[in-house]
Amino acid sequence: MTRQIVLDTETTGLNPGSGDRIIEVAGIELLNRRLTGKHYHSYLNPGRASHPDALKVHGLTEEFLADKPRFEQIAGEFLEFVDGAEIIIHNAPFDRAFLDMELERIERPPFHAHVPLIIDTLVMAKQQFPGKFNNLDALCRRFGIDNAHRTLHGALLDAELLAEVYLALTRGQDSLVIDLDAPRPRDAAPAQRLDRFDLPVVAPTAEEHAAHQAILEALDKASGGKSVWRPAAAERPAP
C-alpha cells in the first residue's frame, strides 16, 4: 500500500539563503493513487515582508499572516503528516531548499531524512514533453484539468491541481505484474475463456506490404542505415 503526499509551499521570495521564508504549506494524501480526502494546510507568519513580485503571485499580505503560527509551532504536526510517505513536488529543489532551511532553524534533520522518496513532477514533465512549457498551468491545460479558479497561487489549491497532474503524468498500469490472487470488484465483468474464441489472422495485401516496405526504407534512409526495424523486416518473406 503506497502512501503519497502531494506537497506545495508559498514563500516570501525566491532565496531562502537571503532570509526568505515559507508562508504557506499544504499536502494532499494519495493512497494507492487515490485521493483519500486527508490533507494538511497551514499559513505561517514569516516574521518579514514578502518581496513585491512574490506578493503579486500569492497575495498573502503581512497583515493577513500576522496572527498565523510560526513554522516551529507547526513543524511537529507537519512532519507527522508526511512521515513515511513518498512526496510529490513540482520543482522539488525549490521547496526542499525552503523546508531544509526552516528545519535547520529549529535544529531538525533536513526534509529528505523524514521521507523515503521525493518525486519531482517537473522532471517527469520535461521528460514527457521536452521543449515545452511545463509549469503547473501549462500541464493543467495539456491534460484538460480545470484551473480556471486559480487566479492567485495558493499551496492547497496548487497541491490539489498537482495531484491531478501527477495522476495524468503517470496514468496507465503501475506494474507489469498482475496480482491473480486479488479479489475481483463486484461490478467487474465476468471472466471470459479465451479458448472459446477463434481469432482470425489477417495477412497484409501486396499493396499494404509495399507501403510498409516504403516506410521502412524511408526510416532507414533518414537514420543513415541505422533503422532497427529494417533488418528484421527484410528477413520476412513477402506475402
Residue whose C-alpha cell is 503560527: 69
pLDDT for position 182: 45
Q: What is the mean pLDDT of residues 79-86?
A: 97
What's the CA angle centered on 231, arms 229 and 235, to 5 degrees?
115
Interior/surface letters 89-127, b for 16+ CB within 10 angstroms, e for the rest: bbbbebbbbbbbbbbeeeebeebeebbeebbbbbebbee
Q: How far is the C-alpha of 92 from the C-alpha of 118, rounded, in Å?
A: 8
Backbone CA torsion sign across 88, 7, 55, 151: positive
Residue whose C-alpha cell is 499580505: 61
Residue 200, classified by CB atoms within 10 Å of its CB into exposed (0-12), middle (13-18) or buried (19+), is exposed
pLDDT band at 107 (very low <50, low <70, confident <90, very high): very high
- In angstroms, what is the C-alpha Rg of the chain? 25
Element of type H or E holding 78 = helix 71-82
Residue 129: HSE in the Cβ half-sphere, 13 Å Cα cutoff: 12
pLDDT for position 178: 38
H helix and E strand count, the chain = 9, 5
Q: CB count, 10 Å around CB of 187?
A: 5
For the record, the C-alpha cell of 157 comes out as 489549491
Active site (catalytic) residues? 153
pLDDT band at 176 (very low <50, low <70, confident <90, very high): very low
* Closest among 177, 167, 184 to 34, alpha carbons compared: 167
For the record, the C-alpha cell of 188 comes out as 467487474
Q: What is the pLDDT of residues 130-146, one digit of tens each?
A: 999 999 999 999 999 98
pLDDT for position 201: 78
The length of the chain is: 239
pLDDT for position 114: 96
pLDDT for position 177: 36
CB 3 within 8 Å of CB 117: no
CB 219 within 8 Å of CB 229: yes
Report the Cα 89 to chain-centroid distance in Å: 7
pLDDT band at 180 (very low <50, low <70, confident <90, very high): very low
